[in-house]
């Protein structure tokens, strides 16, 4: 009678997996053949000399796809390979050892009480509660975006190709082919999507009100530094030079609490002051403040009256402060 050979186990304490090849460790702990790409310590897949990430093992058979096939299938996860979520109607891949995708509760979950979102990366928390990679700017606790080391507010994630090199660049949007909405509507004014942006942006309603009542304002144009390398390209929604005072009107949707960094707002004042070192009078208008009881048209009327009063104050020479800021509906 043939006695089955006893398989060697991985010698790492607590590990019960089998040792691979001539080594004393399992694949996860460094046993077996390793990927021959310099600096990679992952295990080689199948009869190849590389790990999955570097092209080893079976590849997805969909034309043009070079990702690895998953499980016993001939396709990668993105093309339907591997195990699929068992929720009816869902075709996404399962996460970890569960039978569901992330959206339906598969994989590791955030360990913050009451949070049902999935944990990100090697952490035990979702992005909102501090999981995954964080922005490397000192004092910022937001999550890093894409393959970058920064959050959106500090320049991380995919940026708009038109303003990517500007100090106040915006993140790109899939809806506008990777451009930010502002640049898209300026560069492609004839695109049907640009008309949609104009029709639904509150800043446009403010612009129309200002144009109808106060001639001479410049709208959404970069304020360049004259006679130098133009490193300051801060945009101001609406501005008008009156004597030695620059009157600036900013439309701050949701009080700039979404996607804006508070410290950057302060730097913005410093930057534009370097461009124009005269007096500044700012009117910051939050069209979403004041609650549902205040109609948007009534808010515009309050703004109109504030601009009228500011112009009268400047023309009379009564603005004594170097920089004054009025906030409406904050």
Beta bridge partners of 297: none
**Topology of domain 201-328, CATH:** Trna Endonuclease; Chain: A, domain 1 (3.40.1350)
What pLDDT score was predicted for residue 256? 54
241 pLDDT band, cuts 50/70/90, is very high
More confident residue, 247 or 195: 247
- What does the block give as tokens for 98? 């569960």
Domain ranges in the chain with CATH number 3.40.1350: 201-328
- Lowest-confidence range among 6-10, 127-131, 171-175, 243-247? 6-10
Q: How many CA atoms lie within 13 A of 330 on its CB side?
A: 13
Q: Chain centroid to CA 165: how far?
A: 16
pLDDT in tens, 122-174: 889 888 888 888 888 888 888 888 778 888 777 788 888 887 777 567 788 88
Q: Is the pLDDT of residue 226 over 60?
A: no
Chain centroid to CA 118: how far? 19
Residue with tokens 């979102």: 117
Q: pLDDT tier at 213 (50, 70, 90 boundaries)?
A: very high
The rounded Cα 274 to chain-centroid distance in angstroms is 29
Structure-block tokens of residue 233: 């390209």
* Selection from 264, 85, 239 nearest residue 167 by Cα: 264
The mean of the pLDDT values for the chain is 83
262 pLDDT tier (thresholds 50, 70, 90): low
Helices (H), the chain: 181-187, 192-200, 202-213, 262-275, 296-315
Count other C-beta atoms under 10 Å from residue 132's C-beta.
16
Sign (positive/negative) of CA torsion 216, 217, 221, 225?
A: positive
């Amino acid at each position: 009678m043939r006695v089955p050979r006893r398989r060697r186990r991985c010698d790492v304490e607590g590990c019960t997996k089998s040792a691979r090849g001539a080594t004393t460790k399992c694949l996860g702990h460094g046993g077996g053949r390793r990927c021959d790409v310099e600096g990679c310590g992952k295990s080689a897949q199948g009869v190849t000399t590389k790990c999955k990430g570097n092209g080893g093992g079976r590849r997805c058979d969909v034309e043009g796809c070079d990702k690895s096939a998953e499980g016993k299938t001939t396709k990668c996860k993105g093309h339907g390979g591997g195990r699929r979520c068992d929720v009816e109607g869902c075709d996404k891949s399962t996460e970890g050892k569960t039978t569901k995708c992330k959206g339906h509760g598969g994989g590791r979950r955030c360990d913050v009480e009451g949070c049902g979102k999935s944990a990100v990366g090697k952490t035990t928390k979702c992005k909102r509660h501090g999981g995954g990679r964080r922005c490397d700017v000192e004092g910022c606790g937001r999550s890093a975006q894409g393959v970058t080391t920064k959050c959106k507010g500090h320049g991380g994630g995919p940026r708009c190709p038109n303003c990517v090199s500007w100090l106040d660049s915006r993140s790109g949007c899939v809806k506008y082919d990777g451009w930010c909405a502002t640049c898209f509507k300026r560069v492609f004014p004839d695109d049907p999507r640009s008309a949609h942006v104009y029709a639904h942006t509150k800043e446009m309603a403010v612009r129309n009100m200002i144009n109808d009542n106060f001639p001479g304002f410049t709208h959404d144009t970069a304020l360049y530094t004259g006679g130098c390398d133009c490193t300051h390209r801060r945009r101001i929604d609406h501005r008008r030079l009156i004597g030695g005072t620059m009157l600036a009107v900013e439309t701050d949707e949701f009080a700039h609490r979404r996607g804006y960094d508070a410290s950057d707002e302060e730097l913005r004042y410093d930057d534009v002051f370097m461009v124009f070192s005269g007096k500044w009078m700012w009117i910051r208008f939050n069209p979403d403040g004041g609650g549902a009881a205040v109609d948007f048209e009534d808010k515009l009327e309050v703004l109109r009256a504030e601009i009228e009063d500011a112009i009268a104050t400047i023309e009379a020479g009564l603005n004594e402060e170097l920089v004054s800021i009025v906030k409406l509906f904050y």
